[in-house]
Amino acid sequence: MLALLKSSFRPDPDTSRPRKRLAELQAAMGAQRDRSIKLFEHVQAADDAAAAEREALEALEAIAELEQADWRIWGVTGSGSPPRPRTAERELVATHLAECHAATIEAQTRANAVQVGLEEARVRYCDLAEQHLDHIATVLIEEAQSLADLYTTSVRRTLLCEAALHGLRDALVRLGRGADSARVRQMLAGAEPHEVEALRKTVAAEIATELSKWATLADRLSTDATATLSVGD
């Protein structure tokens, strides 16, 4: 039975409608993800601009603190001329702060403009992700149905082979070929339930591997709509 399943079962991802839809959903999710990343760049740019403005403001405040420190030192020592304002440094930093402030306003305007698009992309992505899970389940059911159909065929073929063996045994009995009919009866013994159970125990490790392998198909389909498995590989 395993040999029949292994040789016959190989779903064609190119003809499966659920798989095609799954591939379309994955492409659409990728597009929405790329769109979100591109739109979020404006939000990140606004954050970076605001951080640069804060740094410029801190630099301006640091100049004021240095000027105050100069006056405190002069007040203690009382020597020399009063400290001069750090005018050149202040003007340079103030100019940079003004530029940073203008850049922050511009970046924040762009960030505000993409907020609606970002929310639309988020909602659309969530909707696609839900559909994606539904279609993964649909593909798994499709796989299960294909396996179930082949399993039924295998069982039917096994039962028909068993009936044929019984028929051959009876034919040999009618011919008076007792020894030969006994040989066929021995062949039939291999299909008895206890023999099947013995085989099941022998291939227990293979069965565990097969179960584990097929349990990963959903994970494979989540990134590759063409992912396929075969029994016994």
Q: What are the structural domain ranges in the chain?
A: 16-221
pLDDT value of residue 66: 93
Could you identify the residue written with the tokens 């850049």? Answer: 103
- Residues 6 or more apart in contact with residue 181 via CB below 8 angstroms: 169, 170, 172, 173
Instruction: Tell me the C-alpha to C-alpha distance, in Å, between residue 44 and each of 33, 66, 104, 110, 117.
Output: 16, 33, 11, 11, 15
pLDDT value of residue 30: 95
In 3D space, the residue among 149, 147, 126, 145 whose CA is nearest the CA of residue 137 turns out to be: 145
pLDDT value of residue 65: 93
pLDDT value of residue 63: 94
pLDDT value of residue 187: 83
- pTM, two decimals, is 0.68
Categorise residue 83: left if φ over 0, alpha if ψ from -120 to 50, beta otherwise.
beta
Each residue's pLDDT expressed in tens, for the chain with a length of 233 residues: 444 444 444 556 667 889 999 999 999 999 999 999 999 999 999 999 999 999 999 999 999 999 999 898 888 887 788 888 999 999 999 999 999 999 999 999 999 999 999 999 999 999 999 999 999 999 999 999 989 998 898 889 888 988 998 999 999 999 999 888 988 888 887 655 666 677 777 778 788 888 888 898 899 999 999 888 888 76
